[in-house]
Structure 1
């Protein structure tokens, strides 16, 4: 049994998120997703997500590719989450390439290519008229 884990905010859910989760799921038997809490997102980006953490987790949990979803409360606990959930593989988008290599002592680290021409930040900017 091979457990795959990934993390994200998953705000303003789009096809790029689906593509990442679908490809991550194909790398193992179980896909676990850490959804950033509202506070964690604020601490990272100085803004709250458009959708609250409960709504974002509900979306992620509804996907057939995802077996389980939990709230990621702290970036500093990422290693703890990997160990706690027994991750064999950590999957992240390639925009994070190299930033999670330190976890290769815990599990395999794979960076998947992002879906071209789509980004939550860009969608929010277009909707906001910025």
Structure 2
């Protein structure tokens, strides 16, 4: 029996949208098993980011996705090599907005940067929501 090909990815996955879904779908096509590490609220704070939804909700949404086999918390930048070794990962996948930033993982597994879905991002959605709230408040 062949050993399953394991793929791993990381992300905040706030305001889950079609770009997230397509990333997970394409990541799963590179292996038999997809493991997703979702950034905790504490780790996001260290990165200077904040999420609309708490970690528990974001992790539950990712866990419900048909392409995802396992979900774990991402608590630090440094955990990736240990995760790759612990879960016998063959391929690390992330969006191409990170191109080159994870090349240090190449001695441990394949590293693939997938193109982002054009026209959508959580950051963009947050900006649109903020603008709509500003317009709404100015009309009251």
- Residue 41 of structure 1 pairs with residue 31 of structure 2: no
Instruction: Give how far 1:47 is off.
Output: 3.6
Structure 1: state its 5+ residue gaps. none
Instruction: Give how far 1:128 is off.
Output: 1.2
**CA deviations over 1:35-89 (Å, ceiling 9, x no partner):** 0000111111x24210000000000000110000000101111111111111100
CA RMSD of aligned residues (A): 0.9
Paired residue for 1:12, among 10, 15, 29? 15
| Runs of 4+ with >3 A deviation | none
Retained in 2: the 8 A contact 1:39–1:48?
no
Query: Which structure: larger Rg?
Result: 2
Residue aligning to 2:5: 2
Residue aligning to 2:77: 75
Q: TM-score with structure 1 length normalisation?
A: 0.96
Alignment coverage as a number of residue pairs? 129
Q: How does 1:20-59 map to 2 (within 5 A)?
A: 20-44=23-47, 46-59=48-61
For 2:95 and 2:70, how far apart are their aligned partners in 1?
19
Residue aligning to 2:138: none
**CA deviations over 1:2-44 (Å, ceiling 9, x no partner):** 0000000000000000000000000000000000000111111
Give SS of 2:50's match. Answer: coil
Give SS of 2:57's match. Answer: helix
Structure 2: state its 5+ residue gaps. 135-140
